[in-house]
Amino acid sequence: MATDPAVRTVTLTIDGRAVTVPPGTTVYQAARAAGIEIPIFCYHDRMPPLGACRMCLVKVDRMGKLQTSCTLPAADGMVVSTTDPEVVAGQEAILEFLLINHPLDCPICDKGGECPLQDQTFRWGPGRSRFVEAKRDFAKPVSLGPVLTLDRERCILCWRCVRFGEIIAGDDALKGFERGFTSEINTPFTLPVESKFIGNTIAICPVGALTSRTYRFRARPWDNEPVPSTCTHCGLGCAVWFDVRGGEIVRTRAREAPAVNDIWLCDLGFFGHDYVASGERLTAPLVRRDGRLTQASWEEALDLVASRLRAARDRAPGRVAFLGGRRLSNEDALVAARLFGEVIGTPHRDHRVDAPPGGASLEVAWGLRAPLEEIARGDVFLLVGCDVTEEYPILWLRMKAAVDRGAALLLLHARRLEVRRHARWERLVRADRLAAETGALADALERGAAGPPPGLEAAVAAIAAGRRVHVVVGRFALDGPGGSAVLAAAVRIAEHSGGVLHVARGKGNDIGAQRFGLLPGAGGWPAPEILRRAAAGDLDVLYVAGSDPATAVTDRSAWDAARRGVGFLVVHEAFLSATAEAADVVLPSLVLPEKDGTVTNLEGRTLPLRAAVRGPGAARGDREIFSLIAARLGALFTYGTGDELFEALRAATPGVEAGAILPVAPVPARLAGDVPAGAVAAGAGGGSAELILATIDHLFTQGATTGRCRGITALAGAPHCLIHPDDAARLGVEPGALVELATGHGAVVLQARVTDVTAPGQVLLPRGFDAVSAYALVRWPHAVVAVTVRPLVAAAAGGAP
């Protein structure tokens, strides 16, 4: 390998071998690079050395004491031994110390078989213990929340989990308490543990102290078959291992992917697989007979669908429309696009089922405009209406690393983000003020020396000084009031700062659907228009796959009207979702962890899917279903193997390569017109919008899939809304009380959380709780509505019948 003479190197000797490394390398890293194994517990190569466990001792010539190799910088001429009798004695001593208070419950410990302490005790341990005293005794196990269990007796106090929260996630989820031999890990003052990343602490725990409540006692590691695949929840496409035992995914682990998730995963990824094995999966086609969905054979169901599609096509191809794509693979999307575009000939296809009309989500291609690795090198992050940890948790880890190196985090949102403690500037505004505030920021930047308005100074200064600015516009901003104005202002900010504008929009495989043909063709209607036309009776067949419009369309009444207005509704579904319940034919389909193929992440990167398990009953893959229908319509799709399909993807879209990024379409420099910023519909109150309602994203929800994942459901908690303390006091709402939220369109009952996370005058309602739909309260074209909040306890006391 060619070496730059300007780059100095350091050569040291380890166990008699010359090892050359860059300056700053530790002795431990140098040894590992040379293939020499030194045992470690506290050291983790994604975090700076700590030197606490003392396991990595080595002997260094001319140094009196043994040295911890993880903290010792390699120096020229250093002579190191990892096998000297003194080192062996030291390591044996440390292992003996670690084991005196560690229970030997390996046979029932989840970690057994993949436990660094177990492995290193075999390799470096003293063989027998001289310890005859009573071991340290703790109550066990302790629940730290819905997904995390702590066994303090097993804990060897390596501090990895604590430091993960401090250094990697920035959430300080776990901390050390007490001192000396009574030291213990715990949550800082609150239960359950508050984190989006706690699964990683289980992964890096070198013993069985932190274990997963959903995986506990379910398998031994050697019984699991690990299948490499890609997580398809948030859309960042983290690499995962699905650990399969007995035909069921029992555990999800992070798979190392330096360009995407490195070695981390969020808790939705870790605990979001239970739904696959749910007993509520659909196993046979359903056909509506006499108003009721009843089981049918595939032949019967497919024939019926094909005949209705044929009839509609013969009348006019435009009387068929397709909705969905988020939960399809790239290959599914391609085949769907061919079926509806080529065979049926309808341009009305759209995966953007959750985009409201008039919002900016329909104006711009979704996706990040720079690789995650480039974002990690950014020096300014402006998040506009993007709640990064609730929407794209792994993206936050990249930003956190940059923030620790001095990057400025600037937050503009209608809610306070949990990452705000890392922010240099934060602006909390009511949802209907977001467009104006973003515009004011763009104006101030462009005015330059004129001096920014009060409150914007820090943001303007940071952006002006930034050299690698990333402006991230999220769903809340795009779909909120004045979404187009927010986007236009964000474009100006990005242009002015020479930065990159990211459209943080899309979940699952939305970007793949966008890329492979599930967007309106020439003259085609976007999703809200498809619904409007369906309601107006302009459609004969509405075909839905990879989506649940009944819960995803942000105006429930728009979906209901569409359903009523369309003659025939076909749905591919894994569960009897709200959409499926209303369908004429339901075709049981596989979910993404059951599929081979590829997906496209938010960067535009093509990532592999590998079927971890077989689907239940007679469920079939979406592309197979599309092909069977195409065949009935006289078109033969002959994709013999997955490879042939991938070749078809590459042919359809040049630049698609496994693992590589094909950028999504650029954001247009000048954007279309805008609805007036700040438009708020009059609500039930009828008068001025004293209190407005806006919907926000949560990572943990209770939807069709997340609601069937034990850990996620529990993490999500009860359906709730967020109300500011001032408003709560004025309205007599006690924290945790049940309230009724009413708009002119509907009412829901849920728990009120009183918190200054929301701005005064604004109630925030998390979406994704199917039991309490935020969208029942909203009526297009308005993204936020006036709302009245009524404490139910007070109502009861008032003697209401």
Which residues contribute to the site for other proteins (CB under 8 A)? 49-55, 57, 64-66, 71, 89-90, 93-94, 96-98, 100-101, 130-131, 133-134, 136, 156-157, 159, 176, 178-183
- Comparing CB distances to other proteins, the nearer of 186 and 598 is 186
In the complex with other proteins, which residue's Cβ is closer, 9 or 183? 183
Q: Which long-range contacts (CB under 8 A, 24 or more apart) does 443-447 make?
A: 445/492, 445/493, 445/496, 445/497, 446/492, 446/496
Give me the residue label for tokens 């431990």.
28
Q: Which run of H or E residues covers position 304?
A: helix 298-315
Q: What is the DSSP string of 578-626?
A: HHHHT-SEEEEB--GGG--EEEE-TTSBEEEE---SPPSTT-B-HHHHH
d(CA 761, CA 783): 16
> Least separation, in Å, of the C-beta of 96 and other proteins?
7
Q: Which is nearer to other proteins, 163 or 413 (CB)?
A: 163
Backbone angles phi, psi at 67, to 5 degrees: -115, 150
Structure tokens at 785: 């509505």
Between β-strands 469-474 and 425-428, what pairing exists: parallel, antiparallel or unpaired?
unpaired
157 CB-side CA count, 13 A: 18
For 250, the 3-state DSSP assignment is: strand
In the complex, what is the shortest distance from the CB of residue 647 to other proteins, in angstroms, rounded to a whole number? 54
- Using the minimum distance from each CB to other proteins, give the nearer residue, 3 or 129: 129
Nearest distance from residue 53's CB to other proteins, in Å?
5
Contacts (Cβ under 8 Å, ≥6 apart) of 752? 720, 721, 723, 728, 733, 734, 735, 736, 737, 738, 739, 789, 791
Q: How far is the CB of 131 from other proteins (least distance, A)?
A: 7
Q: Which amino acid is at 410?
A: L
CB of 178 to other proteins, least distance (A): 7
**What is the smallest separation between the CB atom of 155 and other proteins, expressed in angstroms?**
11
Q: Least separation, in Å, of the C-beta of 261 and other proteins?
A: 28
Closer residue to other proteins in complex, CB, 406/798: 406
Bridge-based pairing state of the strands 10-14 and 248-254: unpaired
Q: Choose between 96 and 373: whose C-beta lies nearer to other proteins.
A: 96
Phi and psi torsions of 714, nearest 5°:
-70, -40
Nearer to other proteins, 143 or 183 (CB): 183
d(CA 572, CA 629): 12
Min dist CB 31 to other proteins, Å, is 19
In the bound complex, what is the minimum distance in angstroms from residue 140's beta carbon to other proteins? 19
Q: Using an 8 Å Cβ cutoff, are 548 and 579 in contact?
A: yes
Q: Which position has the token pair 């739904």?
A: 275
**Least separation, in Å, of the C-beta of 128 and other proteins?**
13
CB under 8 Å, gap of 24 or more: what pairs does 136-140 form?
136/101, 136/181, 138/184
d(CA 130, CA 153): 19
Q: Burial, 692: exposed, middle or buried (Cβ in 10 Å; 0-12, 13-18, 19+)? A: buried
CB of 50 to other proteins, least distance (A): 7
Q: What angle do CA 90, 91, 94 make, to 5 degrees?
A: 90
Pick 124 or 639: Cβ nearer other proteins: 124
CB of 364 to other proteins, least distance (A): 42
What minimum distance in Å lies between the beta carbon of 101 and other proteins? 6
Q: How far is the CB of 150 from other proteins (least distance, A)?
A: 16
C-beta closer to other proteins: residue 102 or 572: 102
Partnered with residue 292 across adjacent β-strands are 289
Q: Please, which residues have CB within 8 angstroms of residue 377's CB and are 6 or more apart in sequence?
A: 402, 468
**Cβ proximity to other proteins, 102 vs 720, nearer residue:** 102
Please, which residue, 50 or 494, has the CB nearer to other proteins? 50
Strands 148-150 and 142-143: antiparallel
Q: Which residues contact 503 (CB under 8 A, 6 or more apart)?
A: 364, 365, 366, 367, 368, 369, 473, 478, 487, 667
66 vs 257, beta carbon nearer other proteins: 66
The DSSP output letter for 214 is T
Give me the least distance between CB of 383 and other proteins, in Å please.
Answer: 27
In sign, the C-alpha dihedral spanning 180, 182, 185, 186 is negative
Cα 255 from chain centre: 15
**514/253 Cα distance (integer angstroms):** 28
49 or 707: CB nearest other proteins:
49
- Helix (H, G, I), strand (E, B), or coil: what is residue 475? helix
β-pairing, 320-323 vs 349-350, is parallel
Provide, rounded to whole angstroms, the least separation between the CB of residue 85 and other proteins.
13
CA distance 299 to 305: 10
Residue (115 or 302) nearer to other proteins, CB? 115
Amino acid at 132: V
Compare residues 64 and 634 and give the one whose CB is closer to other proteins.
64
Name the residue nearer to other proteins (CB basis): 41 or 396.
Answer: 41
